[in-house]
Structure 1
Amino acid sequence: MQTVPLKDLVARVDLGLTVLCGADGLDRPIRWAHVSELEDPTPYLVGQELLLTAGVRFPSDVPAYVAGLVSSGVSAIGFGVEPEFPTVPLSLVEACAAQGMPLLEVPPSTPFLAVSQALGALLAEIAVREQRMLADSQRALTRAATRVRPVESVLTTLAVVLNCRADLVDPASAPEDVATLARRVASGTGPRSASTQVGEDHVTLDPVESAVLVVRRSMPLSPAERAVVAVALALLGLLRRDLESERGQIARLAASALLRSRVTGVGNVLGPGPYRVMAGQSRADYDVLAQRYGPLVSKVEDGFLALVPAGFEVSGPVGVSAEVSESDITSAVEEASAMLARALATGSPAFPAAELSSLVDPVAARAFARRELAALLGRPELVETLRAWLGQHGSWDRAAAALGVHRNSVRHRISHVERLLGRDLGSADARASLWLALTWLD
């Protein structure tokens, strides 16, 4: 059920509420306002109320009265002055202060009905905001699920939307502080989801196929935010199933190559090894490769994979694995798929960094890096921002999440980088050049 922080109600100038004690409890949630003149209203309370009273039947034992409200989960007391009392009784102020109960003075000009109506209006505003947030989050998560490396994109978007850390972990290698709970959630014999406190973090765990989604942040999730997590869970579940299907395709590609090696030999199709795996999205590239290498080219989600000779000349945005033998084809597929994301960001072929480094003289590579990045070398925060932004394919939100800063800070820093370097980072050539420089920087 929706709640409103007590401070939001106190901030309503038209109500004229005065905080007499318990100011450190103004973040307490208020579910509704309840009027009661009973000496013991506790049987009729469910918690998180703002209890409104004018002291018509003022309790004889005030500390016990306040203690009962505290134990019932009342969030605050609002005392209406006049006609019964000209001021809030000192005994009530002292009892509330001693027991940590926020106490508000309600002026004669503010009927209890006005307080209830104001609370209702605030609750309605929150409901509208949360519905809008939920709709916006659904759109953002759905868009993320259509990007390259969609699982990572959904996790990054979820982290930005909820201002949290979101990780999809294997229960067998989950972080130590949640490992036991992660295994229980994933086992199917324990809770379907779980929440716990780890240090200052509120942590929720939900199963996603054979993995577990771990969400951490400083504040508990609201019901609307839990609904956002539910959307992410549904998308991640679909993506995980698609990933398993894609892995099956990858396995079939590898099996196809190995089968041909047993029947006619991969060498009869590609020539003697070593080989490379290419990952791309261009239909034209796929058609050329399929015509040339036939069964060693396979369509996968959003693109293709191909087994080619190590010396095959590549161009355009394709991910390329290191040189491999027949026995390492499957791992090469995974490597090429990872390189594709970088290739799409730069618009040029992407090779494993270690292999690129082996092709370039180390001294020349370092000199190139320091020359390209000279204007940034005294500004480590700009270097790391550029690295994160390029590594996240130019995404402001994902780079901000990776750096732990606001997206506007990333925009400002990248603009500063462009001015200092005199480079247009919208250019694929500039991005590729700077990514290599960052790779080879000391």
Structure 2
Amino acid sequence: MVGITSLGLRVLAGVAALDRPVRWVAVSELEDPTPFLEGDELVLTTGMRLTPQDAGPYVSRLVGRGVAGMGFGVGLGHDDVPPEFVAAAAEAGMPLVEVPRQTPFIAVGKAVSELLAAERYEELSSAFAAQERLTRAALRPGGLAAVVDRLAREIHGWAVLLGPDGEPLHAAGEGAAAGTALVRAELGRLRSPGAPASLALSAPGEHVVVRPLGERHRLGGFFAAGAAGPFTPVGQTVVNTAGSLLALSLARGRDQLAAARRVRAAVLELLLAGEHEAAGRAIEALGGGLPAGPVTVLACEPHDAEALYDALPGFTAPWDGLVVALVPAGEAERAAGIAGTRGRVGVSAPVRQDELATGLDQARLALGSAGPVTRFADLAGQGLLSLVDPGLLSGFATSLLAPLREYGSRADLVESLRAYLACNGHWDAAAQRLGVHRHTLRYRMRRVGELLGRDLDDPAVRAELWVALSARPRAPLKR
């Protein structure tokens, strides 16, 4: 961030610690802001209520709270950063930057937000690439060993596959021998009644995840991965992907069809995330294909899922306890009729390939209604929208949501608003759906309200916004 020349920040202390992660910006003029901090923040202050004698205790409190650094704004309370604060920060090894008078604190906060968004996008892109490499490894001959080898490289650590009896089948990476011994000593905990779904083990300089492979009544083995530091959420996703692929490979000889369907679930996840090329390559490797052109999404709650997989045209995959089918729009009625004889089904409107997430939302919404076959177009909300001229509705949506689309690089505001409204304003549910912290979502919703000049607690405002969101294509999911 200090490299952004337009901010004019000047580093006064803690140069060696500038690589500390900053997870948020907190502005405070309190003598002790630490009760309101969580750690890893960049604390900005003008020092209006601080004297040079406060420097040591103030910096010590910030360091004790795990603050990433401090920005001192000059030109208001102090013409220059008091040397006592520079000395205290240098002694504590905490970064201290001078914020010039012409740089508003909001500009620093916005810069950090944009950097965090870019970092998150880069991490997710790397995770998707790693998932694709792991998937390709699983599809090769000797896929079990290939996945273990690939994972060890992806996490810069080690990985090991063990049989149901705990005997090592394949290991890779530096430290795998010692890690295997550690894991084998803990396997009894995963075999006991009421055992957890996985184990997380920690030792000095090592963090390990252990997972059983397969169902408890027909355990295929165990899998473990270890690295020097704790796994990030993205790293955990890569480890989980490897575990799922190993379970698939173990099951391939016993139940090839079931294994292929779990891979299809991963392909569907890639499709919903907008990774169409990676999904296409993965499904081609299985000997299948994806429908071309507009598709209709079916969300099925069948009595007999196995029979339904074979009966439906297009691409089918398990998803969150359902069977999801992507069928050519021209075959939607026939497919819905087939699915309706085997259970309940929700049918989306025809959608483009980049609107699959919207189609799945429509199909699941329709599935929640009564009747064996429910079409999204027949729902009351969609019927109401159909009464409005499409051009006028599109213009209304474009005008209403324009401030969100034009707000710097924060394109995630629209999708955050959609999740918040879809979850009826429940912070935890919406944050989990987006894969962010609820405080992050609260900040975004405050920013949405400010940009739109509307009160999101007003039911009428929420209704207008939901209509606007329903009238425009949904952006590819990136999370």
Q: If you compute each CA radius of gyration, which structure gives the higher value, 1 or 2?
A: 1
TM-score computed with the length of structure 1 as normaliser: 0.49
